[in-house]
């Protein structure tokens, strides 16, 4: 904390969104206590500045970006406050990452019920966007497993908010605009082993994508499809089954008790406190993390993209079509093996367009979106398809349907062309009653946003924001852009 220092100059940092498409420079404060946070609010009021809340910066959009304002990062407030091992209820500070949480609880036989595709998301960031995982259809969104929040509003009041209270119902997806999430109590999921059975099914086209996904819903515990953007919807449907279910695969019988035993022998046993943190996932200095982005940079080049995708599908078909045990880290956070893989898109940027559409529209709209990307000269570098049930946040983008995430390689100098494409994609989504995921967005216009969400939802959000932060000290580029 350098608030005593009259010059803020040396605290300024560039806050870049994941993918590098949008950024802003802010004076970053890293408080240790709630008093420190309140001091930042007071300083902001005295100096006429606003405050943006910053998690791990894993949003692709401008939700945690602002220009020349103060920023609060809770990176030093990342501890476990309490843990009831019997009930599986843990209270952690908002700055803790999903990776830290997983590492902490996995040894006790637990896992967060909902995680994002990256383990680096913070708990506060997970609540602020009400994130979802590959299991959203089955487990819902992150906040559906939060029991209680501690929220410090800009007037210095620490609110203890139960999930059932009115404020508790407004907090999922509050975009960091209601107050600082100091801590969250989460109900964890009990595991028999930290594995799932994973099966990778080759898919031929969009029609089959939707149908196959639907077919596995009754038995799976998570489902996601990696679609090849250079084909008419061919790809790999990745299905997870609970490790103790017999539904995964008739041709593979694995003895769970054997795995359990071998885990205990190797020190990664469950139901007991491990002697050392479980070695899940590589760090930023691993070989994969160092070399991966270079390989990826080559793989996403336009002429090579069809080959890259075809190779990937071939590998999935050859190696993955039988259900195999897969640890939860590998299943959930596979992109993290390459750590800061968005650097592969430099000196350009990675832009992600992610939209949710009603089930009946998916089969027709998704190929149309992808075709448009091709026509505008931006073949998607990655397409991720998920199945959803309605979300619980006021401005949630999820309904009973699907979401598609489209990765776009914004080669240097093509910013305006990508913005134009994004606008066209948005209009197509609007035409079928779909919505854009704000975690990924920095281009949506206020007027489009108003067409996307019911007027009463937008005004409910605005009312909560003004009630919790009447002077609108909390801000973000997203909040200003959409006039929230």
Q: What is the contact surface with other proteins in residues (CB under 8 A)?
A: 6-14, 24-25, 49, 67-68
Using CB under 6 A as the binding rule, the residues of this chain from 39 to 58 that contact ligand FAD are 53-58
Q: Looking at beta carbons only, is 18 or 197 nearer to ligand FAD?
A: 18
Using the rule CB under 6 A, is 172 a contact of ligand FAD? Answer: no
Shortest distance (Å) from residue 263 CB to ligand FAD: 26
Q: Which ranges in 81-217 belong to alpha helices (H)?
A: 98-106, 123-128, 136-139, 166-170, 206-215
Q: Looking at beta carbons only, is 102 or 131 nearer to ligand FAD?
A: 131
Tell me how many residues contact ligand FAD (CB under 6 A): 31
**For residue 410, what is the enclosing H or E element?**
strand 401-410
Partner from other proteins, ligand FAD, none contacting 18, C-beta within 5 to 8 A by type = ligand FAD
Using the rule CB under 6 A, is 132 a contact of ligand FAD? Answer: yes
The stretch among 22-30, 130-138, 284-292, 464-472 that binds ligand FAD (CB under 6 A) is: 130-138
Partner from other proteins, ligand FAD, none contacting 218, C-beta within 5 to 8 A by type = none
Say if residue 426 is exposed, middle or buried (CB neighbours under 10 Å; 0-12, 13-18, 19+).
Answer: buried
Partner from ligand FAD, other proteins, none contacting 10, C-beta within 5 to 8 A by type = other proteins
Shortest distance (Å) from residue 338 CB to other proteins: 22
Shortest distance (Å) from residue 250 CB to ligand FAD: 30
Shortest distance (Å) from residue 9 CB to other proteins: 5
Using the rule CB under 6 A, is 128 a contact of ligand FAD? Answer: yes
Q: 474: closest CA among 84, 56, 54?
A: 54
Peptide linkage before 27 cis (omega within 30 of 0): no
Indicate the DSSP class of residue 248: S
- Cβ atoms of 117 and 58 closer than 8 Å: no
- Cβ atoms of 68 and 475 closer than 8 Å: no
- Cβ atoms of 408 and 381 closer than 8 Å: yes
Cβ neighbors of 63 (< 8 A, separation 6 or more) are: 128, 129, 175, 176, 438, 439, 476, 478
Q: Looking at beta carbons only, is 25 or 361 nearer to other proteins?
A: 25
E runs forming strands in 163-194: 180-187, 189-190
Q: 154: closest CA among 13, 67, 52?
A: 52
Partner from ligand FAD, other proteins, none contacting 93, C-beta within 5 to 8 A by type = none
d(CA 54, CA 77): 12
Shortest distance (Å) from residue 443 CB to other proteins: 13
Using CB under 6 A as the binding rule, the residues of this chain from 96 to 125 that contact ligand FAD are 116-118, 121-122, 124-125
- Cβ atoms of 152 and 176 closer than 8 Å: no
**For residue 12, what is the enclosing H or E element?**
strand 12-16
Shortest distance (Å) from residue 269 CB to ligand FAD: 29
Partner from other proteins, ligand FAD, none contacting 12, C-beta within 5 to 8 A by type = other proteins
Q: What is the DSSP string of 453-469?
A: S-HHHHHHHHHHHHHH-
Indicate the DSSP class of residue 60: S
- Distance from CA of residue 61 to its chain's centroid? 11
* Region of residue 177 (left: phi > 0; alpha: psi -120 to 50; beta: else): alpha
Shortest distance (Å) from residue 478 CB to ligand FAD: 7
d(CA 125, CA 134): 18
Using CB under 6 A as the binding rule, the residues of this chain from 173 to 202 that contact ligand FAD are 175-176, 180-181
Q: Looking at beta carbons only, is 12 or 211 nearer to other proteins?
A: 12
Partner from ligand FAD, other proteins, none contacting 112, C-beta within 5 to 8 A by type = none
Q: Looking at beta carbons only, is 269 or 440 nearer to ligand FAD?
A: 440
Shortest distance (Å) from residue 23 CB to other proteins: 8
List interacting residues with ligand FAD (CB under 6 A): 18, 53-59, 63-64, 74, 94, 116-118, 121-122, 124-125, 128-129, 131-133, 175-176, 180-181, 335, 439, 476
């Amino acid at each position: 904390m350098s608030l005593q220092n009259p010059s803020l100059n040396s605290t300024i940092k560039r806050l870049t969104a994941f993918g590098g498409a949008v950024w802003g420079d802010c004076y970053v404060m890293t408080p240790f206590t709630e008093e420190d946070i309140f001091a930042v609010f007071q300083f902001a009021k005295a100096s006429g500045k606003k405050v943006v809340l910053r998690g791990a910066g894993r949003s692709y959009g401008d939700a945690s970006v602002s220009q020349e304002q103060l920023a609060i990062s809770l990176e030093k407030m990342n501890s476990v406050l309490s843990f009831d091992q019997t009930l599986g209820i843990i209270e952690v500070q908002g700055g803790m990452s999903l990776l830290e949480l997983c590492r902490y609880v996995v040894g006790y036989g637990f896992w967060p019920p909902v995680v994002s595709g990256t383990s680096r998301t913070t708990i506060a960031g997970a609540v602020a966007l009400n994130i979802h995982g590959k299991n959203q259809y089955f487990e819902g969104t992150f906040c559906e497993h939060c029991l209680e929040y501690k929220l410090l509003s800009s007037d210095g009041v620490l609110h203890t908010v139960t999930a059932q209270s009115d404020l508790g119902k407004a907090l999922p997806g509050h975009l960091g605009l209601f107050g600082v999430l100091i801590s969250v109590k989460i109900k964890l999921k009990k595991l028999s082993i930290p594995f799932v059975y994973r099966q990778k099914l080759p898919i031929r086209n969009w029609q089959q994508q939707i149908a196959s996904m639907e077919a596995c819903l009754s038995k799976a515990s998570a489902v996601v499809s990696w679609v090849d953007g250079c084909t008419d919807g061919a790809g790999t449907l990745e299905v997870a089954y609970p490790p103790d279910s017999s539904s995964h695969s008739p041709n593979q019988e694995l003895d769970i008790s054997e795995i359990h035993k071998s885990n205990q022998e190797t020190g990664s046993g469950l139901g007991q406190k491990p002697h050392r943190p479980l070695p899940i996932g590589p760090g930023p200095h691993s070989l994969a993390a160092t070399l991966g982005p270079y390989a990826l940079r080559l793989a996403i080049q336009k002429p090579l993209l069809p080959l890259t995708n075809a190779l990937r599908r071939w590998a999935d078909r050859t190696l993955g079509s039988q259900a195999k045990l897969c640890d939860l880290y590998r299943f959930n956070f596979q992109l993290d093996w390459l750590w800061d893989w968005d650097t592969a898109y430099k000196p350009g940027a990675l832009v992600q367009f992610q939209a949710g559409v009603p089930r009946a529209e998916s089969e027709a709209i998704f190929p149309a979106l992808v075709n448009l990307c091709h026509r505008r000269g931006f073949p998607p570098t990655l397409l991720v398809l998920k199945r959803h049930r309605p979300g619980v946040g006021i401005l949630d983008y999820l309904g009973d349907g699907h979401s598609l995430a489209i990765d776009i390689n914004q080669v240097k100098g093509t910013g305006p062309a990508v913005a134009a494409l994004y606008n066209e994609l948005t209009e197509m989504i609007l035409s079928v009653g779909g919505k854009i995921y704000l975690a990924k967005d920095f281009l949506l216009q206020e007027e489009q946003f108003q067409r996307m969400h019911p007027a009463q939802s937008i005004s409910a959000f605005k009312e909560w924001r003004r009630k919790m932060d009447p002077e609108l000290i909390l801000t973000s580029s997203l909040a200003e852009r959409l006039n929230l």
